[in-house]
A and B are shown apart, each in its own frame.
Chain A
């Protein structure tokens, strides 16, 4: 099956990039980002096909599935699972925000994009914050403290627990807990400031 080939090919490519990335090679992360992006979307699409239509995918599950697949590749010196997840979290943010945009476009009935609607639909969230607005607010949050942005990516987009986030950032769970609260307040104020 050609589909299978594509997946295997991309898996090999990512493995190679990860190897270079974990070896600290300059520019590896930049190349890894789009590769990982494709991988996460592929996993999401596969999950969407598997799941019933009324079932919504969990971003966390996708990120973790990506990890499980890639972690089995030989030859990669993993610093830790959190190391990978930190990168994946950033990619996942992109994937989810893009889905939200595509879905918005599809809804407005504009130019029919070649979007896998089932996939975008399954990943779009109901009731939760507007991901596109959140993405903008995260940009602004970076001006306050870049670490807060990382924490939101890890906690919200990759679904890491407090402890996992702490391990990834190399700080105490207490610090993460405090910063998480701070980040939430800043974002909430940015998004709902006029209601406060």
Chain B
């Protein structure tokens, strides 16, 4: 079958091609200008752009390839690993507890991508990221042990298996006071900072990805994996971005992620801010009206309540349970009043700075956030607050209570001498 080229089709194709090359936001205006006065043409190009979005996985699987139709399960073998049981299933992948065939006692976590995410482009990125991750060595980041391609063509990663509980559950279970929580959080920041120094943004930080082992060591999971998976987000299409948001955890997404804008280390800082908020108050800063859209709007436009105020009132948690100020305080080994006072000031300021809407207004990196938390723990002035003389003076006084007391006494004594001398 051979068709003569139709000039009309070439024209549609030319406009479509050029529209594809520009940022999503500019496409509509461009197409409208190019098709001025020709509604049918504009609609056709619009349909092609829409098709481009929806055709992401279309034709990416060779025909007649049904070999992987069955999802892997316990007992199956992938590469050198035998799957023992399913550990979890996310929007993008399934994680299994696995053992190496030649070393059955060594437990690993094997993560395999869901179908449809294994197009060429993803596979290429996957390999690249694996190389980066393989070089990662940090005691608070789960180590990447290897990976490969399963028989059905899907890539998988093998990681250190971390036996631990999500950081929020760990803190509550051990009734960690605010200082203990901040101490743990500081270590998490250090791990994220290490990744940022290696030009890797996590993109999906949440308690489920921050486990704490029995000896209290935090371990970050899934570094860089989110990036592999939401590459569609970067394809700069609002529609795909919405699709991508469905893939990620909306409760921890930053405004720029909700809006599909550029993701940077500041996006991780934001997610860390949400985690910190949760550790301190038992709830997340935004809930919206319960819908995904409402949550997105709240994340982008609503100012979160300061933690010190959040802990003073009741709240409904997403799982339907109620959160009382008393229970929150008890889990932090304190009373509601003390908890409020503990959070007011420095901690409120640190959380607010991590959660600012414009990425540029937040801490520039996880390192800075961690340093500010450390400053607070040591009683130094935090960067999140305006450095007024009074604030710095008070900090100085609190830090050196004994010295100040002695000095004050000395001054009084000297004054006393003076008075006596005058008399």
Task: State the CA gap A57–B64 with chains docked (Å).
Answer: 6
Q: Which of B3, B5, B16, B64 contacts A59 (CB 8 A)?
A: B64
Which chain B residues border A152 with CB–CB below 8 Å? 59
Contact check, A126 vs B51: say whether CB atoms are below 8 A apart. Answer: no
Q: Which of B1, B2, B54, B66 contacts A56 (CB 8 A)?
A: B66
Which chain B residues border A124 with CB–CB below 8 Å? 64
Q: Is A86 an interface residue (CB 8 A)?
A: no
Contact check, A189 vs B64: say whether CB atoms are below 8 A apart. Answer: no
Contact check, A185 vs B6: say whether CB atoms are below 8 A apart. Answer: no
Contact check, B62 vs A159: say whether CB atoms are below 8 A apart. Answer: yes
Which chain A residues border B54 with CB–CB below 8 Å? 188, 192, 196
Q: Which of B13, B48, B49, B50 contacts A145 (CB 8 A)?
A: B13
Q: How far is the CB of A131 from chain B (nearest CB, A)?
A: 6
Give the B interface residue count (CB, 8 A).
34
Q: Which of A55, A125, A143, A185 contacts B4 (CB 8 A)?
A: A143
Q: How far is the CB of B316 from chain A (nearest CB, A)?
A: 39
Given contact pairs A161-B120, A193-B47, A188 touches B66 in the complex (Cβ within 8 A): no
Q: How far is the CB of A132 from chain B (nearest CB, A)?
A: 12
Contact check, B69 vs A140: say whether CB atoms are below 8 A apart. Answer: no
Contact check, B64 vs A185: say whether CB atoms are below 8 A apart. Answer: no
Task: State the CA gap A161–B124 with chains docked (Å).
Answer: 11
Which chain A residues border B55 with CB–CB below 8 Å? 184-185, 187-188
Which chain B residues border A182 with CB–CB below 8 Å? 13, 16-17, 20
Task: State the CA gap A79–B335 with chains docked (Å).
Answer: 80
Residues facing A in B359-381 (CB within 8 A) are none
Proximity bits, B41-66, A CB within 8 Å = 1, else 0: 00000011111101100110111111
Residue of B nearest to A181 (CB): B52
Residue of B nearest to A99 (CB): B64
Which chain B residues border A145 with CB–CB below 8 Å? 13
Which chain A residues border B52 with CB–CB below 8 Å? 181, 184-185, 188
Q: Which of A56, A144, A177 contacts B65 (CB 8 A)?
A: A56
Residues facing A in B118-145 (CB within 8 A) are 120-121, 124
Contact check, B1 vs A142: say whether CB atoms are below 8 A apart. Answer: yes
Given contact pairs A129-B58, A140-B3, A184-B58, A59 touches B63 in the complex (Cβ within 8 A): yes
Contact check, A55 vs B63: say whether CB atoms are below 8 A apart. Answer: no
Q: Is B67 an interface residue (CB 8 A)?
A: yes
Which chain B residues border A193 with CB–CB below 8 Å? 47, 51
Q: Which of A55, A156, A178, A196 contacts B62 (CB 8 A)?
A: A156
Most buried by A among B51, B63, B64, B121: B63
Which chain A residues border B62 with CB–CB below 8 Å? 58-60, 156-157, 159
Binding site for A on B (CB under 8 A): 1-6, 9-10, 12-13, 16-17, 20, 47-52, 54-55, 58-59, 61-67, 69, 120-121, 124
26 CB < 8 A contacts A-B: A55-B66, A55-B67, A56-B66, A56-B67, A59-B65, A96-B64, A125-B66, A126-B66, A129-B58, A142-B1, A143-B4, A144-B5, A144-B13, A152-B59, A156-B63, A159-B62, A161-B120, A162-B124, A184-B51, A184-B58, A186-B51, A187-B55, A193-B47, A196-B47, A196-B50, A196-B51
Given A55-B67, A129-B58, A152-B59, 12 more pairs with CB closer than 8 A: A56-B69, A59-B64, A123-B63, A123-B64, A125-B66, A126-B69, A143-B6, A144-B13, A178-B20, A188-B58, A189-B47, A189-B48
Binding site for B on A (CB under 8 A): 55-60, 96, 122-126, 128-129, 131, 139-140, 142-145, 152, 155-157, 159, 161-162, 177-178, 181-182, 184-189, 192-193, 196
